[in-house]
Amino acid sequence: MASGFFALLDDIAVLMDDVVVMSKIATKKTAGILGDDLAVNAEKASGFVSSREIPVLWAITKGSFINKIIILPLAFLLSYYAPTVVTVILVLGAVYLAYEAAEKIYEYIVPHKHTVISTDEVTLSPEEIVAIEKAKIKSAVVTDFILSVEIVIIALGSVLGKPISTQIIVVSFIALLATVGVYGIVAAIVRMDDLGLILTAKKSATSKFIGNLLIRALPLIIKGLAFVGTIALVLVAGGIFVHEIEQIHHLVEGLPSIVGEFIAGLVGGIIAFLIVKGFMMIWAKVKGK
């Protein structure tokens, strides 16, 4: 009886050790997506009056939890019954990531005008403010769903072949980190300017300096996150291409891994971007006839 109990404890210890190791690997592989998720949601959670930032962010966070509840069981079922499908989804997700990165790079090079709607507008009625908030929350939750699928599939791809119990624990941990970690940091970022305003109201010259620094730093941090997130998207997509597509692996195997992954992700993104743009142009001409 005692030997069976200690054997059970030994099995649990082995499982948890495996979980820790695989969690580190999965976190590393999903770091790029988490960075992009952070940049996207920091942008979407900004632009509201101070009193509404946290309620709006909480609404988005709840939507993110619901997304994970929907995605995780489906991912585990696929992993158990059709693991090859996970690999296919992983590669398709990499194509999407590469396309998204290429589109962002294109917009850096060829700037586009974007309509920015902010609830800070004093001319808006309460009903219009609520409508704008609902629209931005819905947009953020939809974006979160897409990014969550990518995060879960990439995390799942790193533990394929492991026992299903290890897969469930590791991937669920990454999914929880993606929500709690990302939105916790976003909450801190979007409140930076409010903390800055409080500090600027102090009499101390040091407090005023730090306050002004925080206010000026907020838009720079959001832009910086977007830039880093774009590079990360290229590397994550390229890493999937290199490790999952044998022909691409052979093409870049003589290069340093980070260079090969960056080239694979960038070229893949450019091809995907050109195909999508070409299709959109053809579709616009067809509709115009």
pLDDT at 264: 93
Neighbours of 66 (CB within 10 A): 13
Q: Are 263 and 238 in contact (CB under 8 A)?
A: yes
Neighbours of 74 (CB within 10 A): 11
7's CB contacts (< 8 A; 6+ apart) are none
Given a cut of 70, the residues of the chain with pLDDT beneath it are 1-51, 111-126, 288-289
At 189, list the tokens: 């970022």
Q: Are 60 and 179 in contact (CB under 8 A)?
A: no
pLDDT at 268: 93
pLDDT at 266: 93
Query: In Å, what is the CA distance from 59 to each residue of 44, 66, 130, 140?
Result: 12, 11, 13, 10
Alpha-carbon Rg for the chain, nearest whole angstrom, is 22
pLDDT at 112: 60
What does the pLDDT look like over 184-237, one tens digit per residue?
A: 877 777 777 777 878 888 878 888 888 888 888 877 877 777 777 788 778 888
240's CB contacts (< 8 A; 6+ apart) are 90, 91, 93, 94, 97, 154, 157
| Greatest Cα pair distance in the chain | 80
pLDDT at 144: 78
Q: 124-127 — which CB contacts under 8 Å span 24+ positions?
A: none
pLDDT at 7: 43
Kindly write down the DSSP assignment for every residue of 219-279, as one continuous string.
HHHHHHHHHHHHHHHHHHHHHHHHHH-HHHHHHHTTS-HHHHHHHHHHHHHHHHHHHHHHH
